[in-house]
Structure 1
Amino acid sequence: MVELKLPTFYTAPMTQIVLVGITCFATVGMFSAVSNLGAGGTQDVTLSDTSNGVLYGLFAVTGLISGGINNVLGPRITLFIGTLGYALYVGALWCFQTQGTRWFLIFAGALLGVSAALLWSAQGSIMMSYPLEKDKGKSFSVFWAIFQFGSFLGSLIALAINIRSGSLSAVSTSTYIAFIVIIFVGIASAFLVLPPNRVVRGDGTLVKLEAASAPHEEVIGMAQLLKDWRMLALLPMFFASNYFYAYQGAVNALMFDGPTRALNATLEGAGAIIGALLIGFLVLDGKRFHRRTRGYLGLGVVTAMTIIIWGVGLAWQVTFNRADALARKNSGTLINYHDKEYRGKGALYFFYFFNDACYQALIYWIMSAITNDPFRLARFAGLYKAVQSAGAAGSFGMDAVATPLLNEHLASWIMMLFSFPLAFFVIRTIKETNYDTEKMVYVEDIKKDELEQGVPELEHAEVPPSSTPEAEKSSIEKEDRTSP
């Protein structure tokens, strides 16, 4: 079967990362956006915690095998299946608001946990393996900014409605229909993503010669993954990476009125976008330093921010507890953004999610620096999301039983601090490049030597000029000479 000839820009890694970002913007982003609109679980904290607990629990279990599923099915089919759960969950939120069907929301959360694991494994593999080594921080930045813009947009809508009406007790049917239509656009966009054997990097190499792997290879690959001490050392970082969401969401819901919660959510989205762009472009992919040095700088920046930002949060947290928040609610004295008491709280939420984006960027960058192989990175992403979701499930479980907020804060903060020394030892193993140890397949070589051996689709691959092994070697040597 002869593949359709594709333009050069379409087979470029950054184009594919943008497409995955659009898919996640229209699905995961809209899921987050509609959750910020005050409907569904946000009106019933216990139901929300239960649904999220089930969601993340199944997410954790499925994540252990989702990387292998992605490698067997390919990113297109995996992304497509992964997006379906988001449409169902938003429909369940709509159903809960109009019909009060609690069980359906929990059921939809369970299915979303399974599908989300597939989506994020495919996303992680594409984002980490498709770009050149020098662009992996930027690829995270671009993806995260596009993806988080979905949450930012929903928060702006919620903020506008709240400011106009003073509350957000319900969402109109037309609003839900608009979100579901956008989600279906995201589902369709999954089919625009190319498999690794059709993506050509800027140096003329294919991401991977094979489009998919075999099931038995995935069993072996997963067993080898669990034997890698570097993955084991990163497990605390994985576990902590979503643990704090339950705490931050609980404080936002308990201490602030509707308009202010929406404002905080808007600031969260802005912080995530700006944080991702800054750390990816300026720190992790900075041109002045060797790769391992950039890893140390990234770890230092994230560590310093975590100490400062969460220290400020602790200073505020020790001034109130759940009983104080309940008393505020009963007396109608929840914090409003006009109040003098609100000063600094909006900035805290901005920097909470600024720090979150940097923390996530560092994790992805470390994993992508270990290898360029998309199949291995899909397994890495699956394990990451599995452990991350286990942590999230535990945190929502803590919040569901009304654990003291101070305890939730300290648990989140201490786990992040504990993960940094282990991450340091993993960064120590990072090499300047993996190109010298991993087989690199050049399109020009394939055209010359292997075209008649069963790889017809490469006949139509567009290759940038000067994309030869000699040119790449020269480029690497030049970078080595100019680096301090």
Structure 2
Amino acid sequence: MVNLSALQYGRLRYNSPWAQVAIVGFVALCSVGMFTAIGGLGAGGTQDVQLSDIANSVLYGCFFVAGFFSGSINNILGPRLTMSIGASGYSIYLGALWNFQLHGTRWFFIFAGGVLGVSAALFWAAQGSIMMAYPMEKDKGRSFAVFWVIFQMGTLIGAAIALGIEFHSTSAVVSTGVYVTFMIIMLTAMATSWLVLPPHLVIRGDGSIVELQVSPSPKQEFRNFIQMFKDWRMLALFPMFFSSNYFYAYQGALTAILFNGRTRALVSLLTGIGSMIGSLLIGSITDVLPFSRRNRALVGCAFVFILTCIVWAGGLGFQIKFTRASVEVLGVAIPWDWTFGVAAGPIILMLAYYLVDTTIQGLAYYTMSSMTNDPCKLARMAGYYKGIQSAGGAVSFGMDAVKTAYLGEILISWLLILVSLPVCALVVYRIRDTNYEVETVKHVEEMEPETFREISQPDEHTGLDRSCDEI
């Protein structure tokens, strides 16, 4: 069997944080990225906005519940198994979506939303722990950017595939070729997740090993889980977490009603580009600016606040020109094709929405990763973040399912973001410039060879990664 942790080509090491973050990004590309691309085709590809809203409400509701415990499950099972299980739900959901289009089976589509909610919570807990804990402190903003760009390449590739297949079609229905292609790509994510190294085999650029704690029993992990809620910072970040996906229902509904099939594919492609640009912007602000870590993060808060006001003000100006009952927008009947001149502005607006979305998510991840370097704590935080985020998504899709006025949806979404950012700034103001001084750091040269070889082996009883074992 190949020892992955020993692979090296020149200065490129398989066991470096950058390599591991890139692998996780590729897993996300093949699973979440394809899911996002399908969602970008409008109403999850169903063209039945109400059914899509119900399925997404179930998805986010299950995600909310599972998210709280997903970090603890990751700490017990290890990132490989957790991520593989997490990636499986995306292909199940796509299969249910395809089945609905062929046979109209509504119950299975809704059930698959619940399955995906649980599996996605596991995936994002493992992903968050790796992305936030593996890199050095000076690289955590750019680590998010690297992951997010690779991840969004999935949205970009998926949208490009859909656009190529749908290019000459004016049908509102997504073709079978799109589903087959996406399903093949999604299934590769489950296998690729096993290329991820557990934390104890990852060595940072300064020679330090990702610090690990004693492997927790379920009882101890539960105590650690409860302890997280006693940290005022996690409670203060609740508004930001809740609002960070709240606007997806509104934006997805607009895409579904405004554009035909091939134009939705183009919008999905462009929103992927917007997300990539946003990740590079927030990653550069939090890592590259010549300030202290706290001041870089505060600048990031201010940047996101101003950008949000500019983009959402433009969105509000567009929204007041039509309602749910409108059969034409800006004087032109909907759905639009990209050849319609009036479509250009709203398409650019969708790109800007996703650019803002990514800066918010990047700031949230950077704030959490600034609080600790411990992978077990960060897995719990990531699970908590995605759980609360999904609660917001469940509420917003529920509101859209009962046909809440678009004007009400956009105002609530914008207000939630504006309230959350000053509270995030309060948390950021209290972060340390480094956690290395208060958390134990061990380097490779400090390790006994026998000890390092011992922890590099799977647990002899379970065969699982010893992802939280003592070094």
Q: What's the TM-score, normalizing by structure 1?
A: 0.89
Distance 1:340 1:196, change over 3 A: same
CA distance in structure 1 between the aligned counterparts of 2:396 and 2:202, rounded to whole angstroms: 39
CA distance in structure 2 between the aligned counterparts of 1:285 and 1:393, rounded to whole angstroms: 33
Q: Residue 336 of structure 1: CA displacement?
A: 3.3
Which segments of 5 or more consecutive residues in structure 1 lack a partner in the other structure? 460-484
Of 169, 178, 182, the residue aligned with 2:181 is 178
Q: Residue 152 of structure 1: CA displacement?
A: 1.6
Which stretch of the first structure deviates more once superposed, 196-205 or 260-269?
Answer: 260-269
Q: Is the 8 A contact 2:57 2:397 kept in 1?
A: yes
Of 297, 316, 319, the residue aligned with 2:318 is 316
CA distance in structure 1 between the aligned counterparts of 2:212 and 2:267, rounded to whole angstroms: 46
Once the two structures are superposed, the pairs formed by residues 396-435 of structure 1 within 5 Å of their partners are 396-435=397-436
SS at match of 2:440: coil
The structure that has the greater radius of gyration is 1
Distance 1:289 1:350, change over 3 A: same
Of 96, 101, 118, the residue aligned with 2:100 is 96
Distance 1:300 1:38, change over 3 A: closer
SS at match of 1:165: coil
CA distance in structure 2 between the aligned counterparts of 1:336 and 1:182, rounded to whole angstroms: 28
Q: Is the 8 A contact 1:161 1:168 kept in 2?
A: no
Distance 1:2 1:397, change over 3 A: closer
Distance 1:243 1:442, change over 3 A: same
CA distance in structure 2 between the aligned counterparts of 1:178 and 1:279, rounded to whole angstroms: 32
Distance 1:214 1:257, change over 3 A: same
Opposite residue 45 of structure 1, the aligned amino acid is V
Once the two structures are superposed, the pairs formed by residues 96-245 of structure 1 within 5 Å of their partners are 96-172=100-176, 174-209=177-212, 212-245=215-248
Q: What's the TM-score, normalizing by structure 2?
A: 0.91
Opposite residue 403 of structure 2, the aligned amino acid is A
Residue 250 (str. 1) matches residue 253 (str. 2): yes
**Corresponding residue for residue 356 of structure 1:** 357
Which stretch of the first structure deviates more once superposed, 315-324 or 39-48?
Answer: 39-48
Q: Residue 160 of structure 1: CA displacement?
A: 3.1
Q: Is the 8 A contact 2:5 2:201 kept in 1?
A: no
**Corresponding residue for residue 336 of structure 1:** 337
SS at match of 2:46: helix
Residues 194-230 of structure 1 show CA distances to partners (whole Å, capped at 9, x for unaligned) of 1111100111111034585332221111111101110
SS at match of 1:43: coil
Q: Which runs of 4+ in 1 moved over 6 A?
A: 1-4
**Corresponding residue for residue 7 of structure 2:** 7
Distance 1:259 1:361, change over 3 A: same
Q: Residue 421 of structure 1: CA displacement?
A: 1.2
Q: Residue 339 of structure 1: CA displacement?
A: 2.8
Q: Is the 8 A contact 1:279 1:361 kept in 2?
A: yes
**Corresponding residue for residue 38 of structure 2:** 34
What's the C-alpha RMSD, in Å, of the aligned pairs?
2.3
Q: Residue 328 of structure 1: CA displacement?
A: 6.3
CA distance in structure 1 between the aligned counterparts of 2:93 and 2:175, rounded to whole angstroms: 16
Distance 1:452 1:156, change over 3 A: closer
Q: Is the 8 A contact 2:56 2:394 kept in 1?
A: yes
Opposite residue 107 of structure 2, the aligned amino acid is W
**Corresponding residue for residue 66 of structure 1:** 70
Q: Residue 368 of structure 1: CA displacement?
A: 0.2
CA distance in structure 1 between the aligned counterparts of 2:406 and 2:43, rounded to whole angstroms: 24
Opposite residue 195 of structure 1, the aligned amino acid is P
CA distance in structure 1 between the aligned counterparts of 2:279 and 2:352, rounded to whole angstroms: 12
Which segments of 5 or more consecutive residues in structure 2 lack a partner in the other structure? 458-471
